[in-house]
Amino acid sequence: MIDRKNTTKRMVTLAMFCAIIGVLGMTNVGFIPLPLVKATTMHIPVILGAILLGPKAGALFGFIFGLCSMWQNTFNATSIISFVFSPFSPELDGVGDVLKSIWVTMGCRILLGVVAGLLWKLLKDTKLKRSLSLPIVALTSSVFHTITVMGSIFLLFSEKYAQAKDVAHDAVFGLILTTVTASGIPEAIAAAIIVTALALALFKIVKYEDPKEE
């Protein structure tokens, strides 16, 4: 009976987070256009969901995040570097570029959910209070996501990035660093605050009896 009750709770919570991420991803609430790149709030429910349900669920949430990002940058491309996040972009050259784009838009987002879930599993049984361990997980996961995405763009698309921005190739690293600072830091701080507040509240509501580790 307990296992069935736990399973039902988990499925409802899983569906709820999938819906939230999907709604955010299809609106400008999830992706906020900036001059250099689209800032995002999508990482927040991914991190929160991974903390509540584990790294496997986090991978699913990250996958949905990636699909939404792909959709936005394919059908609502407001940034001149939207091609990085859309494997269907005509600006990509060959299968190699398509695979690189899939990695940036899908792989990095799936990793976000996995890392957030694993970090929480690592810290939740330590002596750290939840009010401290939660922001650590959220902040670290968000920074990891930003560095992974922007680092992948630098390593895989630096030449195309320079062409899109009409700058010298040597200037790409500085632009990437500016983006990390301008959007990555606020995203990380927002994640730390919001995830901590919501997780502390949800832990009291979404409480599983004899939960099994994911």
| Interval 56-110: pLDDT, tens | 999 999 999 999 999 999 998 777 888 999 999 999 999 999 999 999 999 999 9
End-to-end CA distance of the chain: 19
- What whole-number distance in Å separates Cα of residue 105 and Cα of residue 85? 5
CATH number for the segment(s) 2-205: 1.10.1760.20
- What whole-number distance in Å separates Cα of residue 55 and Cα of residue 21? 16
Indicate whether 210 pLDDT > 50.
no
**Residue 94: which region, alpha, beta or left (left: phi > 0; alpha: psi -120 to 50)?**
left
Per-residue confidence (pLDDT) for residue 206, from 0 to 100: 72
Mean pLDDT of the chain: 89
- What whole-number distance in Å separates Cα of residue 92 and Cα of residue 197? 41
Sign, Cα dihedral of 25, 87, 101, 109? positive
Contact 27, 46 (CB under 8 A): no
73 or 31: which leads in pLDDT = 73
Per-residue confidence (pLDDT) for residue 40, from 0 to 100: 83
Label residue 125 by pLDDT band (50, 70, 90). confident
Label residue 212 by pLDDT band (50, 70, 90). very low
Label residue 29 by pLDDT band (50, 70, 90). confident
Strands 38-40, 31-33: parallel, antiparallel or unpaired by DSSP? antiparallel
Per-residue confidence (pLDDT) for residue 38, from 0 to 100: 63
Give Cβ neighbours of residue 20 (< 8 Å, ≥ 6 apart). Answer: 45
Q: What is the mean pLDDT of residues 164-191?
A: 90
Per-residue confidence (pLDDT) for residue 37, from 0 to 100: 60
Indicate whether 3 pLDDT > 80.
no
Label residue 172 by pLDDT band (50, 70, 90). very high
Q: Give percent above pLDDT 90 in the chain.
A: 66
